Amino acid sequence: MTTSTGKAGAMRVGALLLAMPLLLWLFLLVILPHVDLLLVSLRERISYGKYEFSLINYIEFFVEPLYWNTYVRTAVMSLMATVLTLMIGFPVSYYIAKVMRGKGKNVLFLLCLIPFWVSELVRTFGWMILLRESGVISNFLQWAGIADGPIEMLYNDATIMVGLVYTSMLFMVVPLVSVLDSLDDSLIEAGYDLGGNAFTVTRDIVIPHAMPGIASGCIVVFMLTLGNYLTPNLLGGKDSLWFTEQIYTQFITRFNWESGSAFGFLLLVLSSLIVWIGLKLSRQTLSETVS
């Protein structure tokens, strides 16, 4: 008896040691900072260096329409960006996975990847050079006689949307290509043989098969967009209003770590909630999507 329990114990210690890097990483870099953030968000500054427990930071968020509006706006725009990315990314992925053959396929896939070899900052500046009033597109339109004077295309919501979709395209295309690759061509052919047209085949065969890829692509894109700081800030200019910006401002320029932490938690709740609703609506489970 004693030897067998000893053996099991040793096994357990071994497993624990193996899992240690993961556990340490989870605890020190994910759980611990979040617990600290939660504690900070639940206190109120009374006077110099004196703090007390309070819900004021959360109440503030709901009372001040400004924060609430930014929050909703960020969520809605992120959802729109996700849908747009899916609508553009799906045909692209289908073309790469099902229509192209051999070398051309790899070349196209690589073309999708190449912009991501430079950092997001550089890509965003690229868009700014194209779209600004004295930029490439504005000058071209004037040269071609389409526009009379310089046109400002930066600093509005449409530009933010372009930037967001562009930034997240790869994260939609990669899972879609891999899931569409696994779809047997004969299933599509059978669909046509049985009298289906392009629409019904896509609806009844391709999309149901691609659902896990669509779900995981959408989750990643949505999370990235919701948590994006650079693109809305640079392309949106004076009207950008992104919730992450609000968090940055609270932490850095207002020295208000308390409300910054509260906002951080609210953003976490929002993204979890929307992803959960999305999974429920598409009847996917998280484990299915991740695998």
Partner 1 sequence: MSKKHGALRGSLLGLTALAGMVMLGQTAQAEELRLLTWGGYVPDDVVAEFEAETGIDVEVTLSNNEEMISKLRATGGGGFDLAQPSQDRIASAQLEHNIYKPIDLSKIDASLFIPSMLEATKANTTLDGEVYGVPQIWGTDGLVLNTAEASTVKDYIDLCSDEVAGKVSYRLRRPTLIAFAFSMGMDPFAAYNDEAAYQEILDKVEAKLIECKPNVKTYWEGSDSLLNLIRSGEVVAAMAWDAGGWTLNNDNPDMNFVAPSSGALGWVDTFAIPRKAENEEAAYKWINFVMKPEIAARITAASSYYTASNGASSLLDEAQRKQFETSFPQEALDNINWYPPVPAGLEAIEGKTLDRVKAAQSN
Residue ranges in contact with partner 1 by CB under 8 A = 28, 32, 35-36, 39, 48-49, 51, 64, 66-67, 69-70, 132-134, 152, 154-155, 237-239, 241, 246, 249-256
Q: Quick one: 28 or 30, whose CB is closer to partner 1?
A: 28
Q: Quick one: 66 or 277, whose CB is closer to partner 1?
A: 66
Separation CA 88–CA 13 (nearest Å)? 50
Smallest distance from partner 1 to CB 64, Å: 8
Smallest distance from partner 1 to CB 121, Å: 13
CB 183 within 8 A of CB 208: no
DSSP 8-state class, residue 148: S
Q: Quick one: 132 or 209, whose CB is closer to partner 1?
A: 132
Smallest distance from partner 1 to CB 284, Å: 36
CB 74 within 8 A of CB 223: no
Q: Quick one: 116 or 255, whose CB is closer to partner 1?
A: 255
State the alpha helices, DSSP H only, in the chain: 2-24, 32-41, 56-63, 65-94, 103-113, 120-131, 136-143, 157-181, 185-193, 198-201, 207-226, 230-236, 243-248, 257-281, 286-290
Place of tokens 């968090």: 247
Q: Quick one: 49 or 195, whose CB is closer to partner 1?
A: 49
Q: Which two tokens stand for residue 227?
A: 């948590």
Smallest distance from partner 1 to CB 273, Å: 23
CB 12 within 8 A of CB 20: no
Smallest distance from partner 1 to CB 237, Å: 4
Q: Quick one: 155 or 166, whose CB is closer to partner 1?
A: 155
Smallest distance from partner 1 to CB 146, Å: 20
- Count other Cβ atoms within 10 Å, centred on residue 41: 20
> What single-letter amino acid sits at 92?
V
